[in-house]
């Protein structure tokens, strides 16, 4: 089995956690915070305005070299207003487990993304990790900027991404 990599991103938002939750728990907003270069397209009908445990979402995405890939995720855990988890059921990763956490802080919300992922193809996949790592950082930088546009800046906030 290949190495499980970890990406952690923290962003503070100058809004109440209820407002942050309302935006991020609406699965239609994923398109808004995804970089256009990924060409993410939803391919199934989404039910409801908020994520729920057992919800399945399917997409076509072009993460590398403009090659279309099918991606299916399932929302596996939801604690309303606090966190939700999406896990890949089919897609480009051997493992994708993405936690979205929301915590009230003074004057706003701290949002933490914690992603555990493993690349396919064993040694070959691990050798390509530098490309995937760079791509993921680019995606989360875009996301940080888009979220800042939507909710406004946090004074002095800079993108914090930790990766192994």
pLDDT, residue 125, reads 81
Q: Strand, helix or coil at 96?
A: strand
Tell me the average pLDDT across 5-26: 97
For the record, the structure tokens of 40 come out as 């993410």
Q: Which domains does the chain have, with CATH numbers?
A: 4-163 (3.30.530.20)
Residue 1's pLDDT band (cuts 50, 70, 90): low
Query: How close are the terminal C-alpha atoms of the chain, in Å?
Result: 17
Smallest CA-to-CA distance from 109 within 1, 11, 7, 5 is with 11
The residues, any chain, with a CB within 8 Å of residue 30's CB and separated by 6 or more, are 40, 42, 57
Q: Tell if the pTM clears 0.75, that is, is over it.
A: yes
Tell me the average pLDDT across 73-80: 98
């Amino acid at each position: 089995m290949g190495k499980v990599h970890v990406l952690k991103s923290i962003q503070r938002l100058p809004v109440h956690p209820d407002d942050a939750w309302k935006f991020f728990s609406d699965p239609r907003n994923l398109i808004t915070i995804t970089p256009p270069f990924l060409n993410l397209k939803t391919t199934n009908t989404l039910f409801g305005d908020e994520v729920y445990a057992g919800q399945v979402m399917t997409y076509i995405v072009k993460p590398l070299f403009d090659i279309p890939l099918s991606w299916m995720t399932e929302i596996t855990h939801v604690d309303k207003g606090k966190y939700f988890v999406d896990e890949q059921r089919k897609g480009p990763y051997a493992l994708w487990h993405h936690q979205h956490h929301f915590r009230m802080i003074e004057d706003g919300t701290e949002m933490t993304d914690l992603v555990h992922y493993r690349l396919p193809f064993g040694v070959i996949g691990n050798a390509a990790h530098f490309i995937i790592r760079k791509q993921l950082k680019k995606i989360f930088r875009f996301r940080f900027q888009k979220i800042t546009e939507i909710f406004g800046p946090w004074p002095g906030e800079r993108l914090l991404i930790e990766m192994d």
